[in-house]
Chain A
């Protein structure tokens, strides 16, 4: 069973945090086909968030073909996500470490690095990358 950690101070809405954490658990193999997600009541009792938020997250996961709500019993994992590809991850992580070493040598702080990454990701999303 997955336990959701809702960061109520985060800029990301709670329902998207639930979606992201579920996807991450699927990628990491902590959740597999047939597993049951916590009921809305269980999430609400621990996180103190609106039950409709949980249901909204589950509807979104259902729309993505990852889970299925069964009347009276609960929500179950029906779809698999491609596991994080270790063959791709380790070389990328290596290059990222080199890059971060260079950034640290140049005196960049963690915040500056995060801001730079966010800016570039945003640019790519908007399609304005040069």
Chain B
């Protein structure tokens, strides 16, 4: 079964202000979407709302066309950021308890994932490594055979090997079952190869979204001689994401390839890191992107 997630005009107001504002996004069936953004941008709030764990102030979230209201849809799996596990319990007890709490439960599948993680069901949760804990928590989510999973920072604090193993498990599940995934991450390098789409959240708002390969192919990094802003008139202002100048060179990130380049300028593909970081810098330094481009 494949499943779609739709977020329409979602907003969440806290006493301190808006945690989420006018959010629109669609996660298509059997695709993987990365939710990127600085701490406090609203990623966890959006995930918790989609899981039915917190209510929205405005807008709505739909799972396969049905509105999520104060309850987790049965076909949905949710992995919270702090992977809530009982440290004194044995692994097998965690599995039994999770099985009891879920009407859908594929015990052999959960057991296989735990075995693949090299976890002995008799060990206590507290003695597992960070990577094993994450893989146990993931097995407990995937044991439900969810059609849609929401993963809040599943790769945070993992060493490179554990990160690869978690991604192998997740992507195999996507390839086998057509599961739909929305996952938040800080690690952009991982996003590039694991995600179809990217959504950038900043201050509770969506500031960039689209297929990862389209975003990468559209953005270009132009490098040229040091120039005063007035000499950059050939750049089309709306396409300029960021201009950085040093004594030796000028670097410009554009969101659309320019038709031609003046002499002395070169044009390179931009990495996802460069695209996202330039956008984050551009908003934290108001006016920075536009200077010289207007």
Listed in ascending order, the chain A residues whose CB lies under 8 Å from chain B are 6, 8-9, 11, 13-15, 40-41, 44-53, 56, 122, 126
What chain B residues lie within 8 Å of A14 (beta carbons)?
192-193
Shortest beta-carbon contacts, A-B, top 10: A48-B167, A51-B175, A48-B168, A44-B171, A41-B175, A49-B193, A14-B193, A44-B175, A45-B172, A48-B164
What chain A residues lie within 8 Å of B271 (beta carbons)?
11
Q: Are A44 and B189 in contact (CB under 8 A)?
A: no
Count B-side interface residues using an 8 Å CB cutoff. 25
Whole-angstrom distance between the alpha carbons of A117 and B57 in the complex? 57
Q: Does B6 contact A (CB under 8 A)?
A: no
- B267 — nearest CB in chain A belongs to which residue? A126
Q: How far is the CB of B191 from chain A (nearest CB, A)?
A: 10
What chain A residues lie within 8 Å of B190 (beta carbons)?
8
Most chain B CB inside 10 Å of its own CB: which residue of A45, A50, A51, A122: A50
Q: Does B103 contact A (CB under 8 A)?
A: no
Q: Are B216 and A50 in contact (CB under 8 A)?
A: no
Q: Are B176 and A41 in contact (CB under 8 A)?
A: yes
Whole-angstrom distance between the alpha carbons of A68 and B172 in the complex? 23
Q: Are A50 and B195 in contact (CB under 8 A)?
A: yes
The DSSP consensus for interface residues of chain B is helix
Given A11-B271, A13-B192, A52-B31, are A40 and B175 also a contact pair (CB < 8 Å)? yes
Q: Are B193 and A41 in contact (CB under 8 A)?
A: no
Q: Are B266 and A50 in contact (CB under 8 A)?
A: no
Q: List 16 A-B contacts (CB under 8 A).
A: A6-B193, A8-B189, A14-B193, A15-B213, A41-B172, A41-B175, A44-B171, A44-B174, A44-B175, A47-B193, A48-B167, A48-B171, A49-B167, A50-B196, A52-B32, A126-B267
What chain B residues lie within 8 Å of A56 (beta carbons)?
213
Listed in ascending order, the chain B residues whose CB lies under 8 Å from chain A are 31-32, 164-165, 167-168, 170-172, 174-176, 189-190, 192-196, 213, 216, 266-267, 269, 271
Q: Are A51 and B269 in contact (CB under 8 A)?
A: no
Given A8-B189, A44-B175, are A49 and B266 also a contact pair (CB < 8 Å)? no
Q: Are B193 and A53 in contact (CB under 8 A)?
A: yes
Whole-angstrom distance between the alpha carbons of A52 and B174 in the complex? 9
Whole-angstrom distance between the alpha carbons of A50 and B32 in the complex? 8
What chain B residues lie within 8 Å of A13 (beta carbons)?
192-193, 213, 216
User: Which residue of A8, A11, A45, A126 is within 8 Å of B168 (Cβ)?
Assistant: A45
Q: Are B174 and A50 in contact (CB under 8 A)?
A: yes
Q: Are A49 and B189 in contact (CB under 8 A)?
A: no
- B194 — nearest CB in chain A belongs to which residue? A50
